[in-house]
Amino acid sequence: MKIKIKYSLFTSVLLLVVSASLGQQQEYASWTLEEVQEAIDHCKVKTERTIVNLEGYDKSPRTIPADSKHWEAKPTGGWTSGFWAGILWYVYEGTGSEKIKIEAEKFTNEIETILSVPVKSHDLGFIFQCSYGNGYRLTKNGAYKKTLLIAADSLSHLYNPSVGTILSWPAQVSNKVFSPHNTIIDNMMNLELLFEASKLSTNKKYYKMAVSHANVTAKNQVRPNNTVYHVLIYDDRTGKALRKATHQGFSDESVWARGQGWGIYGYAMGYRETANRKYLKIADKLAKAYLKRLSKDYVPFWDFDDPAIPNTPKDASAASIVASAFLELSELHNKRAKKELYRTWAEKMLRSLSSPSYLSGSRNDAFLIHSTGNKPRNREVDIPIIYADYYYIEALVRLKKILQSEMAGKQMPKR
């Protein structure tokens, strides 16, 4: 109890300092376990509604168009294919619902069909880690382990040893847009599948590839001001960095909010998997650069440098990715000040996302509204997108486990 009082006092002081330095940031109270559970239960209700509306298991929700209340489902195969199964696994973890677990298994099993075709992009990490990865973490089902190893091996075929990174978009090489070798910041997320495979097998090549990818990306893709480039184009034979560009950002030199989020999350995860403090430092620097640019309601505009701000869409997906990453950072850091800093910011981000401004409520079947997929191409702009919901429920479940551990008076186990 004594610890709890000290903790709250420290949090409040920190909150005051942070908000004073930022002017008019919205103030929010920290979450209680009951509130987190309520938010998770709300997600369960939404999820059950979607299950009823989906036909079959070979399609998964991707977006809710502006004129609809229900998810538009896409055939299994695209980069977002694993998020729905992942949401179901997190809802199962957060509620214990056996009914949801059965649905998670059914949607997960369907995703394996992708592996019968040659690997098309780095997204195998997103697809398989979110679905099979979470399934394996929660059930230790040997069939999931087998699939994860096949998916990781498939992903490893995109690794170019001359460059030291995975080729993110083979299609953009064929059509000569980002050629001869491209690596996007999002690709940091897919390293988790390689780290997982190295733990599940005796083959350490996956670990070495992931580490090389993280190092080369840190060298070439992080700007001096600690924001990130979206796309790096390399010479595929010499490994020389040829060009820095964007695909989904406002401009090559702008700061695409979700890209910054992938970087923060990716390097936090990299530190979790390697214990290399260099990655933790990078995550810290990227996080600082993100916070410096963040809107007063803790949800960023889709690109921090869009000159149309504030008359341009927000991206709730970036906020949920960063909230989840910040909770991980709060657990990875040993120093109390850093732990508290990340925890406080994450809780504020989650409060804002859980407010009527971003929670869909009765508007539609998603958890969150106001995400932006690809603004430059006017695709999936200011609508619900499945990966925003995935990282939102992941963050809620992470927060629940942290609060439970604190109540039990012990440290949170590693993910």
- The residues of the shown chain that bind ligand GLY, judged by CB under 6 A, are 79, 186, 248, 258, 373
Sheet with 241-245: list strands edge to edge. 181-184, 231-234, 241-245
- Residue 412's Cβ-count burial label (10 Å; 0-12, 13-18, 19+) is middle
Query: Of 165, 149, 266, which is closest to residue 199 (Cα–Cα)?
Result: 149
* Cβ atoms of 67 and 77 closer than 8 Å: no
Kind of pairing, strands 241-245 and 159-160?
A: unpaired
Nearer to ligand GLY, 125 or 270 (CB): 125
Backbone angles phi, psi at 182, to 5 degrees: -125, 150
Distance CA 315, CA 281 (A): 25
- Token pair listed for 296: 């007063």
Nearest one of 261, 275, 265 to 211, comparing CA atoms: 275
Please state the closest distance from residue 230 (CB atom) to ligand GLY, in A.
Answer: 9
Q: Which is nearer to ligand GLY, 79 or 301 (CB)?
A: 79
**Residues carrying an active site annotation:** 123, 186
Cβ 160 to ligand GLY, closest distance in Å?
Answer: 20
> C-alpha 187: how far from its chain's center?
11
Q: For ligand GLY, give the closer residue by CB, 127 or 403.
A: 127
Q: Please state the closest distance from residue 146 (CB atom) to ligand GLY, in A.
A: 26
- Pairing relationship of beta strands 72-75 and 165-166 according to DSSP bridges: unpaired
Q: Which is nearer to ligand GLY, 64 or 100 (CB)?
A: 64
97-106 burial, b at 16+ Cβ within 10 Å, e below that, comes to beebbebbbe
Smaller CB distance to ligand GLY: residue 277 or 377? 377
Q: Cβ of residue 33: shortest distance to ligand GLY, in angstroms? A: 31
Least separation, in Å, of the C-beta of 301 and ligand GLY? 15
